[in-house]
Amino acid sequence: MATTAKIHAPLGAAFILHVVDAFIGVYEKAVEWNLSRKTRIALSELSDVQLEDVGLTRSDIAKF
């Protein structure tokens, strides 16, 4: 995560940098969540035999 708030700046600028850092953090979490969601969908479309081939079970899908 890019931490721009550690830069020495006037008070107003530092506040803006903290707000930007917060938005960046939220964005990164959303990207991570979406990747996990897509992974779960793709894995749930596999058959039990295919899951076994990659060393997973149906109950393992929820962990992603």
Domain ranges in the chain are 22-61
User: Mind listing the pLDDT tens digit of every residue in the chain (64 residues)?
Assistant: 555 556 665 678 888 889 999 999 999 999 999 999 999 999 999 999 999 999 999 999 998 8
Contact 31, 39 (CB under 8 A): no
pLDDT for the residue 11: 72
Contact 19, 31 (CB under 8 A): no
pLDDT for the residue 63: 87
Task: Tell me the whole-structure pTM to 2 decimals.
Answer: 0.68
Contact 1, 26 (CB under 8 A): no
